[in-house]
Structure 1
Amino acid sequence: WVAQHLPDALYVPSGSTAAAAAALSGAPQEPSATGAEGAVVGSGERTAYDAAVCAPVAASNQGLTVLADGIEDRTGAVTRFVLVSRAGVVPEPTGADKTTVVLFQREDHPGGLLSFLEQFATRGINLSRIESRPTGERLGDYCFSIDCEGHVADERVGEALMGLRRVCAQVRFLGSYGRADLAPATVAADTTDDAFIEARDWLGMLRRPLP
């Protein structure tokens, strides 16, 4: 919408659409001019910005004038809200689940992220989201927030978490939960629960002392 109607606009990133509206109004907030939803608004006052993209409620809260509304992408974009609370009972597997973890590196080095991803890849686990964030402790320290298909009760996911426990400085398990779209994971024949259990039983047989 902006490219079509305001092709010469200069984009300035914002921490949030509410911050964009506040910056446009001149309120003491993070400087910004763009957001991701709802409406293009103007302040009528002389500030560093001419307009902002924000939710209508943000425009109302800041006393801004709505110049155009309904500009958001209506092709299926959604906002996901996550409730993070203290550890509790993990929901039972539904057959269409996701698991979320946050992984911390021991140190920044070439191949560090690859060693994390290999734990999923070798067990046939698909990742649906991966984001990196600085830890704030020192330059070059990052953590990775990851959503993967499957439930902690699944053999392949459990083994991946054990592998991550070995190679990561810290693994924060944020939970396993049913997917909103109810789409079951595609599981290859060699990564089913039965395949992992059979392989574990075989190893146990090899480790048994000879009679």
Structure 2
Amino acid sequence: MPAAPADDAPRSYSFLGPSGTFTEVALGQVEEARGQIWKPVSNVGEALGDVLEGRSTAAVIAIENSVDGGVSVAQDALATMPGLRIVGEVLVPVNFVLVARPGTRLEDVSVVNAHPVAYGQCHLWLDAKLPTHGHIPASSNVAAAASLLDGTSTADAAVAPPGIVNHYDLDVLAENIGDNPNAVTRFVVVSRSREIPARTGADKTSLIVELPNDESGSLLGMLEQFSTRGVNLSLIESRPIGDALGRYRFVIDALGHIEDERMADALLGLRRFSPNVIFLGSYPSADRTAVDYHSRYNDEVFIEARDWLRGLLSAEPLDD
């Protein structure tokens, strides 16, 4: 494993490039990354590979969108690249513009270049304004715009982030073309650090869990590990394991911190229940909303129950 950089050495952070992407905007919200080296990469696998190989201190990747749900390529990478931990998250409001080469008119557009996620979030607008348009997928929102100028795309226009004209000589044909004005993308900061961020009371724990077998009640059994401890889930999505049809792993975000007694007890239950539990990390929630739960799941309740059991096993005298 490569040696860790000295404390005073600049740190490197990988993000989906090129410059101007929503991921770069997210990286700008990561306080410890400010003033450090920002390394644009081509895909999520490369970003996480940089972290595993020690080329970067951390990577920022998109993990969930409020419109499209989980980002499957990121979820699958975290499931299959051991040694990674999520140490933080940030939220970025998402909107889009339609851009084209200078002099292009909206009525001239017949083919649109767009990242598949961005295209999915703008398809109602595109279908209404350009009902016969075709779509060419792009590797990123910025790459979609850049391809209009570098000769790599035959598209007439591209879906891109606002402010793209600050980086490229393009005309904005339309603004606010996103179908949902409240769309938000959640990004996570991924590192190799085994140091868990301190508990804040507004935390999230991310996991990947496999069911022990494919039979009636298995999914319920997994969910009961959380519900019986008063742990709420903000995300649960299934992803195919890939070794056979019908075999799935579950990507889970649970509200709480591993140092919370109820969360720790739920993790112990999962470990007994599942053949494979991947702990991705406990970290402060981006929205800083305190986790709400019933008082019967307070830390003191779990501690008292363990003390009671210890007393029974040690034959301590009963209290009067």
Shorter chain as denominator, the TM-score bin is 0.7 to 0.9
Aligned to 1:36: 121
- Within 5 A, what are the aligned runs for 1:36-55? 36=121, 40=126, 50-51=134-135
Q: Relative to structure 1, is the Cα distance of residues 149 and 56 closer, same or farther in structure 2, using a 3 angstrom cutoff?
A: closer
Letter aligned with residue 302 of structure 2: F
Matching residue's letter, 1:154: D
Call closer, same or farther: CA 1:174–1:56 in 2, change over 3 Å. Answer: closer
- Per-residue CA deviation, residues 138-171 of structure 1 (Å, 9 max, x unaligned), is 1111000000110000000000000000110110
Equivalences, count: 181
**2:156 pairs with 62, 65, 70, which one?**
65
What are the residue-to-residue correspondences of 1:1-211 with 2, within 5 Å? 34-36=119-121, 40=126, 50-51=134-135, 57-63=142-148, 64-66=155-157, 68-73=174-179, 75-209=181-315
1:207 positional shift: 1.1
TM-score by length of 2: 0.50
Measure the CA separation in 2 of the matches of 1:187 and 1:71: 39
Q: 1:62-101: CA deviations, max 9, x gaps?
A: 3233364421145432111123332510011011000000
Letter of the 1:180 partner, please give it: A
Larger % of strand: which? 2
Contact 2:207 2:277 in 1 (8 A): yes
Counterparts of 1:91 and 1:110, CA distance in 2:
37
Percent identical pairs in the alignment equals 45
Residue 198 of structure 1 deviates from its aligned partner by 0.8
Which runs of no fewer than 5 residues in structure 1 stay unpaired?
1-14, 17-23, 42-47
**1:176 is paired with a residue of what secondary structure?**
strand
CA contact (8 A) 1:99 1:177 kept: yes
Greater RCO, CA 8 A, separation 6+: 2
Do 2:112 and 2:134's aligned partners in 1 also have CA atoms closer than 8 Å? no
Say what the alpha-carbon RMSD is for the aligned residues: 3.3
> Which runs of 4 or more aligned residues in structure 1 lie more than 3 Å from their structure 2 counterparts after TM superposition?
37-41, 51-56, 66-69
Question: What is the CA distance between 1:52 and its match in structure 2?
Answer: 6.5
